[in-house]
C-alpha cells in the first residue's frame, strides 16, 4: 500500500486509503498525521470499505472555481453530483458522484469508482447497479 496515494488497488478494485488511530481507533479520510479525536501521532494507513450509502448530496450546477473539481472548459461543463458517502464505521467521505443526478437518492448504495479528469485520476462514487 502506498503511503501517499489516496487510492489503492492491491485488493483488486479501487479502495480509498484512510487512516486509523493506533490509540483510539478513530478512522479518518483523508489521513492526517495526528488523530483529529485524541491528537495521537500513531495514525497508520488503512483501506476503507469500497461501498457505502449516500448520506446527502447536491448538484454542482456551475463550473467550480478550483481543483479538484475543475471543469476542462466552462463551455463543456455538465452539472454533476457531489455528496457525502457514509462508509461502514460511520465515516463520511465527501465525493464527486457519477451518474444521472435524477437517479440519486439519500440512503442508496454507492460504490467507489475512479474517473479521469484533465489527466488526473480522481475517485468518485457511483450507484451500485443491480
Chain positions contacting Zn ion, by CB under 5 A: 21, 23-24, 26, 35, 37-38, 40
Grid cell locating 41: 501521532
Question: Which CB sits closer to Zn ion, 38 or 108?
Answer: 38
Nearest distance in Å: CB 16, Zn ion: 19
Nearest distance in Å: CB 26, Zn ion: 4
Residue 22, CA distances (Å) to 43, 45, 83, 118 in order: 6, 10, 29, 37
Residue 70, CA distances (Å) to 18, 57, 120 in order: 24, 18, 11
Nearest distance in Å: CB 109, Zn ion: 29
DSSP code at position 101: G
Question: Which CB sits closer to Zn ion, 35 or 110?
Answer: 35
Amino acid at each position: 500500500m502506498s503511503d501517499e496515494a489516496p487510492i489503492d488497488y492491491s485488493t483488486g478494485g479501487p479502495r480509498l486509503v484512510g487512516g486509523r488511530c493506533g490509540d483510539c481507533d478513530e478512522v479518518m479520510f483523508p489521513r492526517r498525521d495526528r488523530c483529529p479525536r485524541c491528537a495521537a501521532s500513531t495514525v497508520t494507513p488503512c483501506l476503507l470499505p469500497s461501498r457505502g450509502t449516500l448520506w446527502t448530496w447536491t448538484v454542482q450546477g456551475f463550473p467550480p472555481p478550483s481543483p479538484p473539481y475543475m471543469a476542462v472548459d466552462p463551455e463543456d461543463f455538465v452539472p454533476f453530483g457531489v455528496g457525502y458517502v457514509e462508509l461502514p464505521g460511520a465515516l463520511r467521505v465527501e465525493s464527486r458522484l457519477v451518474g444521472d443526478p435524477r437517479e440519486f437518492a439519500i440512503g442508496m448504495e454507492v460504490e467507489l469508482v475512479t474517473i479521469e479528469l484533465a489527466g488526473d485520476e480522481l475517485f468518485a462514487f457511483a450507484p451500485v447497479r443491480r
